[in-house]
Each structure stands twice: as C-alpha cells, then as structure tokens.
Chains A and B, each alone.
Chain A
C-alpha cells in the first residue's frame, strides 16, 4: 500500500476500485429493503461504465478536452440541458434536477461542475503560463467568473441552491489556487457570508433550517427531521457498527439514505472505525491528486488536477460534514458511496483527466530524459500551448 503512494496512478486505480465496491455494497444495504438489487446493479453498472470512461480519457491527451471549441461546445450543451430541465420543471410544477432520456437520466448540474473546472483550468492556466494578473473582476479572469456564475444561476433556478453554491465554490477554489489576491478572496468570502446571512434572514424557512442545523432536535418532526434521523443512524453504529444489512437507518426512513445520506448508513453499519477508514481512503485519493499536481509543470494540467481533487475529495469531505451535521444540508453527493449515476460518471471523467495530466507529464519527463537538458522540450511545450489556445 505504501509502495502505491509513490505511484499516484496505481494508487488512484486501486482506490477507485475499492471505493466503488464499498459504495455498491452500501447502496445494496441501504436500498435492498425497498428495491432489491436494482440500485446495486445500477450502481455497479455506472461504476463499470465510469471506469471505462476514466480509462479512455486518461489515455488521451487532456489538452484535447481543453480546446476552446470543445469547451465552448460543452458549456453550451450544459446550458441547453439546464434550460431544458428548468423548462420541464416549470411544467411539472416541482423541483427538477434530472433529465430523463429513457433508459438513462442525466443530471446536467453535475456535468456543469466539471465543465466549470475545465474552463477555469484552461483560462487561468494559460494566464499563469503567460504571467498575467489573475482577478475575478477584471481582465480575462472575469470572463470565466461570469461564465461560471451564469451556470450557477441556471442551477439555482431549478431550484437547487446547494449545487449552485458547489459549482461556484469549485470555480472559486481554482481561482484561489491560480492566485487571485487575498483582498479578492476575503471580499468574495465576506460578501458571500453576508449575502448568505441576509438571504437566510429574509426567508423564515431558511432561518429555520439554520437553527435546526445548530440543534436538529429543535424541530425533530419538521426541518430537523432528516438531520435527527441521520445523527441517530450514525450514533447507533458505535465503534464497530451493526451487522451488514442490519443497520436500522433505512427503517428509520432516513430520506436519501442511498443517495446524499448514504454515509449515515455507512457509519451505522461500519461504525466509527469504518467511517474513519473511509475518510482516510478519500484523503489518500487527495494525496494522489496532490502528488500529480505537484509534479505537473503545465499550469493548465496543474489547475485541472486541483479542480478535480476538489470535485472528488472536497465534495466527499463536504458530504460527510453535512451528514454528521457540521455543514447545513446541501445536496452534495458522496462520490462512489452514494447512488447517483451522473455524479459518478462526472467524477470518473474528472479523475480520467487527472490521470491524463499525469500520463502527459510522464511522457514529457521521458522526452526530457531522452534529450537530456535539451531546451527543445521547453519550446515544444510552448508549441502545444500555442496550438490548443488558438482561439484567443
């Protein structure tokens, strides 16, 4: 296992397979009672498809996916899908997050997460390469910011405030890494917090939710319902957990017990030890990404890997924080563990991109080794930049 730490690629493959398997078993336990093997099989099927997608992408040069025309196409496609979902949602008079294209359904907002990361990585990576000043509000940086805000807004009107916030945050993280000034960081965070407070105070039910976040037992049968059940489910796991399949969380009818709150069921059945191990596995995944990022000279590749790490590991930690009551309830998935086809495929695609970055970096290094100390490499690298950034 420690040998794996030196090879982030192998470590990622190992962890992905392990996490998908754990997830499948957990989904089975959480949903077996009502749906039998249906979710288990689908979860596994998505895992296999996702794995294939990941492998395919990792074999291709990620610069291909960062080409402007590809990104523009992806962005427009996501916008259209989101508008479609909004339109259907308006007709059905209810929240709508999925687009049903029998036999599969897609959740365009999940796609949006990856597209935002890729766009930001491309834009800011290029700027970093050129040593340009990066800002949210001025210059080229503001364009990417605006594009991400538009996407978030479309998700927000679904209405899905949680996912909109996640898309925005993922974009912001990439910007922070790319190097926006601290003044901007603190302003945007401060602005966001103030806005959130005002927003919360303006609508009583949101205020309720926040109160409940601090003490879910305040409103056990109302707003705190899901949280109370989640905490009871987690708590009754103890140190080593209940027997597999015997966890009572699903009987408690913990809402979303196989999707967003799958971690609660996991905690109950595997106990504190299991939960801690799961956390460690995700952090190890994070380590692998960090290692890839640290070793990547191409700033676009670097930013892409950081973005993907936030997408996969950041969301996972956020989900666990939400399920155990540290974060308020926002619809953030726990990739691999919670059931959700689009989120899984998107994450695997992201991981595929990260692996591609690693593969390309390795190729570069090999070339470098071959023509040792040849300045050509540097130039060829620049050529690649020139080629892919053609539409500037």
Chain B
C-alpha cells in the first residue's frame, strides 16, 4: 500500500481547469473560423437552404356567356392536409396537456366542421404517412372554422394549402357544355376539358424564405415573378337567357313525357354560333360526382340516332339539286311501296294519290321519298350526305363528339336506299342534323358550328376569336329557298302545326324514328321524337333542334317535340324583340282569354293590354302569370320582354299603368 502517495489536489484541479481552458480556446478558435473566415460561405448556404422559388397557384380562368355573364368562376380557398406522423404533442407540450390523444381530439373537433365522419378522420390520422389530404378546396366558411379549431387547440400536424375551388354559378344550366374540373383543378369534361390549358390557373413563380418544413416565412417574400394574374376568360357563344329558357323547356318536357333523355340546340344559322345547348339527363357540375356519369355526356354531340323524317328535307334538296324533281313534280302515293322484298308504309298507311313533291315534304309521305331516293341511288345519297356533313364530326370545339354512321354506297342494297331516303339506316348526332338543316336555312352554306366566342387574356387582349367558318356550299340558294318554302308549309299546313307561333313564319320538320338498340337492330317500342326548324322562315335568326329519347305515351315528333320548339322560341323571339311579320292571325284578346281559360282554367283573370291613341300601350299588372303568357301578351302589344328567372311573374318594370311606346322593353321577374 502506497499509503503516502498523494497528489496535490489543487494542482490536479488546476490541471483539469487548464484542459478546460484549452478546450474553450479551441471552441473560440473554431467559432472564429466559422464566423469570420467561413461566414460568407455559410451564410450563403443557409440562405440557399431556406430560399425556394415557390410556385403560387392562381385560380382558374372564368367561363362566361356571350354577354359576359359568369358561368364558371374560381376562388382561392384552403385545402386541409395532415402529417399523421407529426400528430403528436412534443415532449414540452405533453407536460402542459398530459395524456391528450391528438389524433382522436382532432378527429372529434374537425368532423362536424368538415361534415366528415369522425371515425374515418381518426383512421386517416393514424396512417403511417407524412402527407394525406383531409379535405380539398374547402368552402371558405369551413376553411375559417377549421383554421380556428387548429389554432385554438394547437393541434400539431394539420396544415393548409391554398387551392382554387370552382363554382358553377348557374348549376345545371349548360352543364354538359361547361363540364367540370376534378379536385386538382384539372378539366375533366366539356369546355373545362377542351380548353383546360387555357383556363388552368398558371402557377406564378416567386422567391421567398422557407423554413425547412416548407412553410413560408411570413413577410419574407422578396421577389415575385409575374405579379399579374395570368387568367384567361373564355366567352362562349351561349346566351344565358336562351339557355335558361331552353333548360326550363327541357325540364318541363322530361316531366311531361318521362323521356329517358333529351337534347336541344339553338344555333345561329348564318354563323354557326351555338346559342343554347341542353342535354338530359343533366347534373350540377358543382357536385358532379353525385350524379351518374351518363348524365355528364352531352347528348347533342355524343348521341347518335336515326333521324327519321327530319332527314327528308336533306334528301329533298338532293333531288332538287340533281333536277330529279321540282316542288311541283307530281308523285303517286299509294300508301305503301314495295322495294325488293321490303314494303314501306306511310305513317298512317293512307295514300294521297297523285301529289306534288311539296306535299310529300309537307305531309312527310314515305312512299314519295322512297321513289325519290331510288332515283337518286346509293352513290348520290351517300355523296350528298357526306356533303351535308354526315358521317364525320362537325368539328365543334367541344370534346367527345361522335361521327355518326353512314353506309358505304357499294354496301347498300335497294331496301337500304329506300329506308335511308326516309331517314333510317343513317345515324346522326343532333348537332350534325341541325347543321345540315342550317345549310337550308342560310341558303346553302355548310358551317362549322362553334361555341367559343373568344378567349380574352388577363390584359384584356382577345387571343382567339371564334368565327364563321364555311365548310362548303352544298346547295344553291334557289334549292335552299324552295326547301324553306316546303318546310314552312310543314308548320303552317302540314304535320308540324304544333310548332307554329302565331305571327311568325316558321319552317320545320318533324321526325319519329325507332330507336337504335345498343347491340344493333331496333329497340322495340322505343322511339326518338324530334323536331327541327328555324324562324323566321324567310330570313332565319334561329335554328333549333329538339330531340326526345323514348318519350312515354305520345311519341310522335309533332306531338312532343314540336311544342317544345314553339314554347322556347316564342319566349326567345319576344325577349329578343323580333317582331312578328304581321299581327294578322294573332289572337284577339278576348279570344286569348277564352283560350287560356279553357286550357288552364286559370283562376285569375288575365291582365289586359290597353291600346291608347298615338301608338301607346298601357301596361297591365303581370303578376302571377307565367313567362309564356307574358310573352304572348307583350307580343300582342308589340312590346319586348326581358325576363329574369322562371316561374310566375312577381315584379315588373315599368309598373302597371305606365304608358309605353311600341317596341319598349318590359322587364319581368319570375319565381
């Protein structure tokens, strides 16, 4: 035992202190190296680490109608996402709030605000992930409420992103045309899909300080790329008012006829602009996912069907152009005709004897059309059909357009030629059919229909403009005029009478065809009832097609489709101030009153229009009457209607009793 060995403790202590001082000196030296010599380099590295040129998402561009009325708009809102693995209180926080289950608490607090299931939320919060979307593009109110809850309760692991949310202001109006976007703001159908690259909210670049968790440091944005929002606005050729009338008529038609589907288009026959376009079944693009996908498709361009008699004017034009017939050429109608082994009957089986061709169109005589078709032959039928634009898409600026089906001439047997001349054995889309009729209406020009009027960029420059595009001249003005005359007779004297609007010259053609079954052949007892026409017949402003798919009960085009045409266009004509060519034939007031009373047994007396000397009219009180009646009244007084909403009138301008001049616009609100 070296009992006497003893170190000097103070010396040992001093020695250790010296080691410590040396270490301290080393630390200071190291700090000097880092903070003085390498300062520049390290600062730069730190700044680089925190600086990110971020991308800021701008909201999607607007879609508006031809007058700038908003159809689809976007606003920026919050998207809630979670970092489930971070949803735990830190050790420090746990001291303050011991034992709280952040995930459970978050789920319970947020479920009512987000209108989501708490159990599902709790499940999401337990995912072994660092990122999961909880609710995207929230309503602004939800966003604020969720923000408050997260802040007040200091819930960790819950964050927001800025995302844009799309609103479709007119709900189901023109839903299939406008389409919709998915949650990532990508256009999925309609114009939203067609012009996705134009509408998509461009991302603006900017530079800012970020912390390493990716959060932008407040107020640190020191460089912003493009300041201006680069949003484009898409103007459609649609007219919201017409669209409204059209949608209303469609709803009404579906209710009355219980049809499986429907399609209607209003077009400017001289330019190819689509003014109204409706399809049934329909949906609300704001909540598109709640509707069956079938309702998303635009039947006006995607449904193909046999047009039936509506096709007869086209065949008629072929005959007139080829000189096979004139309007006065006499044709023998025996009620039925046998072609090869096939017998084709008139719709009523009755024969009219020797009739001029005008009558064949007017009364939709099948035997007469078949005779013309046989004279034309397969070659010319198919060739002209192609010239009229059948068998290939019209090229309208909408996605999902079908081509229809056209025989090859060499494949056609005689019965095929016969049936095609009455509009069977050819499949068309409603838009193809209407466009072909427009060629008759406008004097022979086959147009490319279009729906995008213009695209305006953020600076207000028009970057693209839709314009009239003539595909070809299919018939001469003379032939067109002859056919217009015949089609006018269809409405004034023939099978299209229900389409007549008193005071206007209407040209049109009805059609009823058996529906094509999905696997080929025909679907028994299912019909497509359609009507196509234009007004005024001599110088058309509007061309319109109405097609009902499998109406229940009455199924003739003249019974179910022609009245829709009439009701819709009557409102539009009055609204647009297109005056009747004469007041001749217009009902007198007493007559109208009686008519209305007889029709609807309306409890209230119809308001009366008082004519004053000097061409002035004293306005009645319109309240309680529907748009159609109001339109009729104003039409009678040579006034114009500016309707708002639909339903019964409840407000008007000018007020009842006001004396107004002829041609004055009367605004009426309906609800």
Contacts and interface: CB of A to CB of B under 8 A. Distances in A.
Interface stretch (A78-86, A245-253, A356-364, A377-385): A245-253
B213 interface: yes
Interface residues of B, number: 49
Given A128-B9, A272-B32, A100 B20 contact: no
B17 A290 contact: yes
B35 A232 contact: no
A173 B16 CA distance: 8
A239 B5 contact: no
Contact of B21 (A102, A283, A306): A283
B290 interface: no
B46 interface: yes
B13 A324 contact: no
A122 to B, nearest CB: 15
Contacts of B9: 128, 177-179, 299, 302-303
Interface in A163-186: 173, 176-179, 181
B39 A238 contact: yes
A68 to B, nearest CB: 22
B34 interface: yes
A128 B7 CA distance: 10
B31 A267 contact: yes
A271 interface: yes
Contact of A103 (B2, B6, B95): B95
Contact of A248 (B13, B39, B50, B92): B50
Contacts of B23: 317-318, 321, 326
Nearest to B45: A232
Contacts of A290: 13-14, 17
B49 A232 contact: yes
Interface in A309-333: 309-310, 313-314, 317-318, 320-321, 324-326
> At the interface, is chain A mostly helix, strand, loop or mixed?
helix
A262 B39 CA distance: 19
Contact of B28 (A231, A271, A279, A302): A279
A237 B39 contact: yes
B13 A100 contact: no
A308 interface: no
B408 interface: no
Given A133-B1, A302-B9, A235 B24 contact: no
A251 B209 contact: yes
B3 interface: yes
Contacts of A98: 91, 95
Among B23, B34, B39, residue most surrounded by chain A Cβ atoms (within 10 Å): B34
Interface in B1-49: 1-3, 5-10, 12-14, 16-17, 20-21, 23-24, 26-28, 30-32, 34-36, 38-39, 41-43, 45-47, 49
A47 interface: no
Nearest to B215: A251
Contacts of B32: 272
Contact of A276 (B5, B28, B34, B213): B28
Q: Interface size class for chain A? A: 35 or more
A252 B49 contact: yes
Given A248-B209, A251-B211, A294-B10, A286 B39 contact: no
B43 A324 contact: no
Contacts of B43: 235-236, 238
Given A232-B42, A238-B43, A100 B35 contact: no
B42 A105 contact: no
B35 A238 contact: yes
B34 A324 contact: yes
B20 A314 contact: yes
Given A178-B9, A321-B26, A324-B31, A235 B46 contact: yes
Contact of B27 (A131, A238, A250, A320): A320
A251 B12 contact: no
17 contacts: A100-B98, A177-B13, A177-B16, A232-B45, A234-B31, A235-B38, A235-B43, A248-B47, A248-B209, A251-B50, A251-B209, A253-B211, A272-B31, A293-B10, A293-B13, A324-B30, A326-B26
Given A132-B3, A233-B46, 15 more contacts: A102-B95, A105-B95, A176-B12, A236-B46, A236-B47, A237-B35, A239-B36, A251-B212, A279-B27, A286-B21, A303-B9, A314-B20, A320-B24, A325-B30, A326-B26
4 closest A-B pairs by beta carbon, nearest first, are A235-B42, A179-B7, A236-B43, A272-B35
Interface of B: 1-3, 5-10, 12-14, 16-17, 20-21, 23-24, 26-28, 30-32, 34-36, 38-39, 41-43, 45-47, 49-50, 91-92, 94-96, 98, 209-213, 217
Interface of A: 35, 39, 98, 100, 102-105, 128, 131-133, 173, 176-179, 181, 229, 231-239, 248, 250-253, 267, 271-272, 275-276, 279, 282-283, 286, 290, 293-294, 299, 302-303, 306, 309-310, 313-314, 317-318, 320-321, 324-326
